[in-house]
Amino acid sequence: MKVLLLIRSLEYGGAERQLVQLAKGLCRKAHSVKVLEFYPGGALEQYLRSTQVTIHALAKKGRWDVVAFFLRLLRFVKHEKPQVLYALLGVPCILSVFLKLFSPQMKIVWGVRASNVDLSRYEWLSLYAYRFECFLSRYADLIIANSHAGRNYAIKHGFPQNIEVIPNGIDVDHFRPDFPARQKIRGEWNIKNNEMLIGLVARLDPMKDHHTFLTAASLVASKSSKAKFVCVGSGPAGYASELRAAATKYGLDDRVIWVGAQNNMRAVYNSLDLLVSSSSYGEGFSNAIAEAMACGIPCVVSDVGDSAGIVGETGIAIPPQSPEALADGIVTMINKAEFLDGFLQRACRQRIIENFGIERLVDNMRTAFERLICSE
C-alpha cells in the first residue's frame, strides 16, 4: 500500500506517538509510508529518521496561512497519489475532505482520539472547528476511534454510526521494567529509595485536571511523609504558573517536582511507584496509562474514556473531579502493591502485552486500510 499520514506536527503527544509507531510498523511490513506535517521540527521526528519513512513538512507560517498552505498541501498529495490518506485530529481531518475533491481515487481515513471534550474551556475557534468536523464526517471513507468512549461521543455529535474501534498499541519491547533507569532518574530528582513517587504524565491542559491531582496530593501528603509527586509534561506558561501557585497554596512546594516534557519516557515511568491519570474529560485511550503499565507500574485513573478498561483489575478507577476519591485510591493502591510484592507489577505488564501490543495495532490498521482499498 501507499499510505500518507497527515498530522499537525510531531511534537510530544499521544496521537503523535501513535502515528510514529504506526508509520514504523507499516514500513516494517513493506508498505510505502510518508508522514506529512504542517509544522517541522517536532521532537518525535527523531524516531523516524533511521527508518524508510519519509517526513515532509509544509512549513505552515501560522493560523492564517491558509490559501498558500492548502495549495502546497494539494500539490504534495496530487504528486504522491497515495491510496490511503490517514488524517489525525480535527484540522487534518477537515482538510482531507477537500483534498479528496481533487484526488477522488484516494481513500480518506479519520482518526478520532478524544471523548466528552469540554469545548467551553477552549477558544471559540475550536468549537466551530469541531462542529464543521462533525458535518464533514459523513464524507470520510472510514473513521477509526482509538476508544469506545471516543466512538460513542463522536456518534452522539453527528458522526456516522459505522466507526471502527482500534485501540492504541504499545511497544512493550521498549516500555519495560528498567531498574538502572529507575535509579538514575530518582537520583536526579533526589527521590530516596524509601520514598513513594506518584506521577502524573500529561501535558499541562485543563482536560488533564492537574488541580484535582494537586488537591489529592495534599491529602495524601498529610497522611504520609514518604509520598512525593512529580508532574511530567509541558504547556502554556500562564497555565503552568497557575498550577505551581496551586501547589504552593496546598503546601506542596517541597513535595511536588515539575520536570516538563521528557525524552526518555521509559526511564520516567520506571522512576514511579504509581501513575495517576486525573483527566476530567476528553480522554480516549491514554498512552501514559498503558505505557506505564507495560513498565510494571500500577495506576489509579479517573473513569474517563477507556481508562478503566485499560487498567482492568490491575488498577483502580475513581470518579473524575473527586480529589478525596483519588487520594483514597492512591493510598489503597500503594498498600496493595506493597502487600502483593511484585505480583501486581507483573500483572500490569502482562495485561498490556496480551491486549494492547503494537503489532496488534499495526495489523488491525493494515487490515482496515486494505479492506478499504479492495472495496472499490
- For residues 250 and 177, give the distance between their C-alpha atoms in angstroms, rounded to a whole number: 33
Query: How many separate domains does the chain show?
Result: 2
- For residues 262 and 276, give the distance between their C-alpha atoms in angstroms, rounded to a whole number: 17
Residue that the C-alpha cell 483514597 belongs to: 328
Is the domain of 147 the same as that of 186?
no
Range of the domain at 102: 2-169+357-374
Does residue 174 sit within a domain? no
Dihedral-angle region of residue 269 (phi above 0 means left; psi in -120 to 50 means alpha; beta otherwise)? alpha
Q: Which residue has the higher pLDDT, 338 or 65?
A: 65
88-97, 138-147, 280-289, 334-343: range with lowest mean pLDDT? 334-343
Does residue 317 sit within a domain? yes
The pLDDT, as a whole number, for residue 124 is 67
What is the average per-residue pLDDT within 315-341?
A: 92
The pLDDT, as a whole number, for residue 123 is 72
Is the domain of 147 the same as that of 267?
no
Contacts 24+ apart (CB under 8 A), 319-323: 320/209, 320/212, 320/278, 320/279, 320/280, 320/281, 321/209, 321/212, 321/280, 322/212, 323/212, 323/215, 323/216, 323/219
What does the angle CA 126 – CA 109 – CA 2 come to, to the nearest 5 degrees? 130
The pLDDT, as a whole number, for residue 316 is 97
What CATH code is carried by the domain that includes residue 305? Answer: 3.40.50.2000
pTM as predicted: 0.88
Is the domain of 329 the same as that of 370?
no
| pLDDT level of residue 122 (50, 70, 90 thresholds) | low
The pLDDT, as a whole number, for residue 59 is 92
The pLDDT, as a whole number, for residue 313 is 95
The pLDDT, as a whole number, for residue 149 is 93
Tens digits of residue pLDDT in 169-217: 999 999 999 999 999 999 999 999 999 999 999 999 999 999 999 999 9
Is the domain of 123 the same as that of 48?
yes
| pLDDT level of residue 263 (50, 70, 90 thresholds) | confident
The pLDDT, as a whole number, for residue 119 is 65
Helix (H, G, I), strand (E, B) or coil at 308: helix
Is the domain of 324 the same as that of 228?
yes
Cα dihedral 62/118/17/263 (nearest 10):
80
Is the domain of 239 the same as that of 272?
yes
Identity at 131, one-letter amino acid code: R
**pLDDT > 70? residue 78:** yes
Share the mean pLDDT of the chain: 94
What is the average per-residue pLDDT within 301-328?
A: 97
**pLDDT > 90? residue 125:** no
The pLDDT, as a whole number, for residue 113 is 87
The pLDDT, as a whole number, for residue 13 is 83
Is the domain of 7 the same as that of 62?
yes
Is the domain of 84 the same as that of 124?
yes
Is the domain of 260 the same as that of 193?
yes
